[in-house]
Amino acid sequence: MCEAHNHDASPAHEHSHSEAAPAEEHCHSHAVATADESTAECPVMRGNYVDKADAEASGLIRDYDGTRYYLCCASCGPLFDADPEKYLAAI
């Protein structure tokens, strides 16, 4: 299990390393523990907060319905793209 993502803690998180990126690509160091103005919660992996600047620099952002969303990893991008309403309903 990827400790940085705490996979088992979030019911909204429905992907695993087997259907996403390999663990070494999926786990990353820019996740932060709490939110402030420079951080945002990933809509796919609820509970994972990312530095907005890091996410933007890495292309881990999505603009949807006039709002910018910040993703915690590349694996969350295709999941969000496929069904943004599924993940935004939990917000």
User: What six digits make up the tokens of 24?
Assistant: 């070494």
Q: Degrees (nearest 5) of the Cα angle 84, 87, 89?
A: 105
**Which whole number is the average pLDDT over 53-72?**
97
Distance CA 37, CA 69 (A): 13
Using the structure block, give the residue that is written with the tokens 């796919």: 44
What is the model's pLDDT at position 90? 81
3-state secondary structure labels for all residues of 38-54:
CEEECCCCCCCEEEHHH
9: three-class secondary structure by DSSP: helix
Say yes or no to pLDDT of 16 above 90.
no
Q: Give the pTM.
A: 0.64
Q: pLDDT class for 7, splitting at 50, 70, 90? A: very low
What is the model's pLDDT at position 32? 60
Say yes or no to pLDDT of 86 above 90.
yes
